[in-house]
Structure 1
Amino acid sequence: MSGPDRASDATSAPPPPLLPEYLLRTYRWAYLSRRTLPWLDRDLVVSAILWGNAGRLMRAACAEFAVGSKVLQAACVYGRFSPMLAARIGPQGRLDVADVSRLQLENARRKLASFAHTHVLHADLAHPLAERYDGVCAFFLLHEVPTHQRRLIVDNLLAAVAPGGKAVFVDYHRPARWHPLRPVMHLVFRWLEPYAPSLLETPIESLSARAGEFEWRRITLFGGLYQHVVAVRCR
């Protein structure tokens, strides 16, 4: 079957995952509302949220994956990230986009309609994945989940990386003390991103017992506000 969303209709398929309580409680307005989705999915809005760094961060993440790779995008992303990643790996590869929200998958399916090598998967990433990939990418996902679920997600994503493959995590990080946006981001995290503070100074490699199977590298950008972390599976 070609085109996005090749999910099987077999009667033996497991039941669809339920929406997590934290998503319903904290992010209903952002990811479960048909009213706000068209606004939040605009490139200008995504760029503003990331202080003009969206394109830079997206390009750097996509560049980590080789043409022809089989890649999992962990959770849908507003803006043009999914089409960029699909274009990067090309028709010789395969892009799976997994999310627990049907609304987000519907939106991703629309954006990826012209890419026949893409699939959307209704899945809760806090549960183990059935396949292995050349690469997995979590783009601004981890700061939006509570600590316990975050550990499960990182562990499951690392488990899904094939030998020699890589996991890429792009997310928030603790900005430098001199950063002019530090007080602004403190308020943003306090009022809109309540799970983010627990990630800012927590090394992502500390979130999974599988970390020793990978070689890790991290860079920070924009005065430390963002981090780009790559884990390459060595065994």
Structure 2
Amino acid sequence: MSPPPTESAASADVLPDYLRETYTWAYLSHRTLPWLDRSLVVSAILWGNAGRLMRAAVAEFSPGQRVLQAACVYGVFSPMLAARVGENGALDVVDVAPIQIANVRRKLAAHTHARARLADLSEPLGSKTYDGVCCFFLLHEVPEDQRRKIVDNLLAAVEPGGKAVFVDYHRCARWNPLAPVMNLVFRTLEPYAPSLLDTPIESMSGRAGEFDWTHRTLFGGLYQHVVAIRRKA
């Protein structure tokens, strides 16, 4: 009898088509991953704002909380979030790509209260709920129909009184000198991003009415930091 498939082998053939077709170079390649997963590169991609954006997202959560991180993030974001919730808390990182799960497990090896597992965030995540959910620069990388499913599933995972935090791209102010550069980036490297820039995240889920939403933009409108707090019954 053949041994049961490993987690990676069992999931490698069910990667979303959009991920294979658009982002193999960025997220599925063993050659490029070590280069992209460097703090200097992450900072350059975000125009020097990576640290600021990461710290602001992590600060939304508290020690002792149980937090779900939606998709792996290059750089030090996951260790930062794990350190924030601390040993009395828990961090679950969920991603659809085995290569990304293996990489984040390596980065979280020192944090015994953190774990990473394979799952497609556009599919129901089960009955487990969390004090907080963090979605850091994921939504612009998925097609609009998948994005709506992801937002809906993430909101469903938030307990009453808990929060969901979304940090992502936003439409630049017209005066922002980076506006034409980012338009070029979106056209050539991020084909799903334009459909996010002007679309309020709360419009993506029928569950949005269960939450109180706050929004702010950063760096001349290029980034958005959105917080949704689920009202208690």
> How does the TM-score come out when normalised to structure 1?
0.93
Report the Cα offset of residue 111 of structure 1: 0.3
SS of 1:105's equivalent? helix
Q: Give unpaired runs (5+ residues) of structure 2.
A: 5-9
The equivalent residue for 1:6 is none
- Which residues in structure 2 correspond to 1:13-92 (within 5 Å)? 16=11, 18-92=14-88
Structure 2 CA distance for aligned equivalents of residues 90 and 16 of structure 1: 30
Report the Cα offset of residue 121 of structure 1: 1.0
SS of 1:128's equivalent? coil
Report the Cα offset of residue 59 of structure 1: 0.2
Structure 1 CA distance for aligned equivalents of residues 120 and 173 of structure 2: 34
- Which residues in structure 2 correspond to 1:83-162 (within 5 Å)? 83-130=79-126, 131-162=128-159
What's the RMSD between the two structures over aligned residues?
1.0
Report the Cα offset of residue 92 of structure 1: 0.3
| Alignment partner of 1:211 is 2:213 | no
Tell me which amino acid in the other structure corresponds to 1:78.
Y
The equivalent residue for 2:7 is none
Identical counterparts, % of pairs: 73
Report the Cα offset of residue 71 of structure 1: 0.3
CA contact (8 A) 2:170 2:217 kept: yes
| Alignment partner of 1:177 is 2:185 | no
Structure 2 CA distance for aligned equivalents of residues 110 and 59 of structure 1: 21
Cα deviation per residue 1:25-82 (whole Å; 9 max; x = unaligned)?
0000000000000000000000000000000000000000011000000000000000
How many corresponding residue pairs?
222
Which 4+ stretches in 1 moved above 6 angstroms? none
Tell me which amino acid in the other structure corresponds to 2:191.
P
Structure 2 CA distance for aligned equivalents of residues 211 and 98 of structure 1: 22
Tell me which amino acid in the other structure corresponds to 1:129.
L
Q: Give unpaired runs (5+ residues) of structure 1.
A: 1-8, 10-14
Tell me which amino acid in the other structure corresponds to 1:40.
L
CA contact (8 A) 2:70 2:138 kept: yes
Structure 1 CA distance for aligned equivalents of residues 80 and 17 of structure 2: 31
Tell me which amino acid in the other structure corresponds to 2:67.
V
Tell me which amino acid in the other structure corresponds to 1:77.
V
Report the Cα offset of residue 16 of structure 1: 4.0
Tell me which amino acid in the other structure corresponds to 2:144.
T
SS of 2:207's equivalent? helix
| Alignment partner of 1:192 is 2:189 | yes
Tell me which amino acid in the other structure corresponds to 1:103.
I
Tell me which amino acid in the other structure corresponds to 1:198.
S
Structure 2 CA distance for aligned equivalents of residues 230 and 121 of structure 1: 25
CA contact (8 A) 2:132 2:158 kept: yes
Structure 1 CA distance for aligned equivalents of residues 53 and 72 of structure 2: 16
Tell me which amino acid in the other structure corresponds to 2:64.
G
